[in-house]
Amino acid sequence: MAKKVAILTGGGDCPGLNAVIRAATLKLTKAGYEMLGVRYGWRGLLENDYMPLDVMSTADILNRGGTILRTSRTNPIKQEGGVELLADNLRQNDIWATIAVGGDDTLGVANKLQGEFALNMVGVPKTIDNDLSGTDYTFGFNTAVQIATECIDRLNTTAESHDRAIVVEIMGRHTGWITAMAGIAGSADVIMLPEFDISVAEVCDILKRSRAAGKNFNIVAVSEGAKLVTKEGEEQMVTLSEEVDAFGNVKLGGVANLLAQEIERRTGYETRATVLGHIQRGGTPTAYDRVLATRYGVKAAQMVESEDFGQMAALQGDAIVAVPLELAVGERKLVPREFWDLAQTFFA
Ligand code: F6P
């Protein structure tokens, strides 16, 4: 009988998920395995919600954003008896190995299931935030940077026409990867990242200097997780609500609006705020992400074939390698100072 391999996508969706599903399915079915898609991430394993995957069901998905398997932020570890139920379901359905495609939350669960319950897990690093350790890049990040850069390009022309400052809020949770790259690529006047503090007063001084130097408009790229810092060093992280999800994540959002009001009040420049939001996660993956996600999917399949469990496919330099899952979920990968210095070179 063919060995059964499940694949699931958890956490926020991201362009390239379908490319991973396709690649792993094609590689493993060709090698004689049976592929089972788990719907809605870990929730699907708790509820036995599956769909068969084969050549036909994955034929037309490589370039499609989102995930044909759907996703959720269900955390089985937080549920009473959740992990035991999940382990029972895997056994009863003869699922021999599971490929978990996700960020630190989803892979954290996979790591626990492997380490504490000896269930055969393989990980694939997904997130637009690019905040996973153990890999140089996650898939989906390149697409998000491309989208954010195109949006900044558009904001540049409207800001210029009206002599305005525009504050653009960019996703990334507690790291500023997308903001740093899109901000540099989009020639933002100021970039604000969670990793490096810059006070509101300093931001306004930079804008004033840029106007004094002859520029008639400004773009401020701010990470949703960047703190608003006063001159005295007081910090404020802006959230949409007090609520946290099953993994303890706060809902970030709103920093651009507050900052825009403050910039207008302090400088007198007409200022607007734009929140890019989920536009950064939607739509078709870039060619780079399609190829990276495909390489990750094939690597995950190879790890299943060689029974290399408890590992995650990772990009190191130009090579796709296997790294221990615990490395990926141990520490958040922050934007290095090098990029902050690069961005600051262009602050007036
Ligand atoms: O982790 C990906 C991400 O898009 C973050 O950048 C953002 O803070 C969060 O997910 C938004 O989550 P949701 O889709 O639940 O609003």
At residue 341 the predicted structure's pLDDT band, cuts being 50, 70 and 90, is: very high
Ligand 1 atom closest to the CA of 253, numbered from 1: 8
Q: What is the pLDDT of residues 71-107, one digit of tens each?
A: 999 999 889 999 999 999 999 999 999 999 999 999 9
Of the three residues 247, 281, 315, the one that is the final residue of a domain is 281
Indicate if 9 and 51 belong to the same structural domain: yes
Kindly state whether residues 219 and 262 are assigned to the same domain. yes
CA dist., res. 201 & res. 208, Å (int)? 11
- Quickly list DSSP for 68-94: TT------GGGSTTHHHHHHHHHHHTT
pTM of the full structure? 0.97
pLDDT at 70 over 80: yes
Chain segment 237-261, per-residue pLDDT in tens: 888 888 888 888 899 999 999 999 9
Ligand 1 site-directed mutation target among 73, 239, 250, 281, most atoms within 8 Å of CB = 281
| 67 plus 133 within the same structural domain | yes
- 21 token code pair: 């599903």
Residue 109 sits in the same domain as residue 186:
no
Choose one of 128, 224, 279 to mutate for the ligand 1 pocket test, by most ligand atoms within 8 angstroms of C-beta.
128
Residue nearest ligand 1's atom 12 by CA? 12
Least Cα distance to 193 among 206, 207, 181, 208 occurs for 181
| Domain assignment present for 293 | yes
Asked if the structure places residue 342 within a domain, the reply is: no
We report the CATH number of the domain holding residue 260 as 3.40.50.460
Q: Residue 129 catalytic?
A: yes
DSSP state of 324: E
Query: What's the total number of domains in the chain?
Result: 2
Instruction: For residue 118, give its domain range.
Output: 4-140+285-330
- Is the domain of 38 the same as that of 127? yes
Specify the range with the lowest mean pLDDT, choosing from 203-212, 228-237, 283-292, 327-336: 228-237
Whether 303 shows a pLDDT value over 90: the answer reads yes
Q: Is residue 169 part of a domain?
A: yes
**281 CA from centroid of ligand 1 (Å):** 9
Question: Which amino acids bring their CB within 6 angstroms of ligand 1?
Answer: 12, 103, 127-129, 171-173, 224, 252, 281
Q: Ligand 1: distance of its center to the CA of 173 in Å?
A: 7
Query: Among residues 13, 104, 105, 129, which one is catalytic?
Result: 129
Section 268-288 average pLDDT: 98
At residue 238, the pLDDT reads 87
Please list the residues that pair with 168 across neighbouring strands: 221, 274
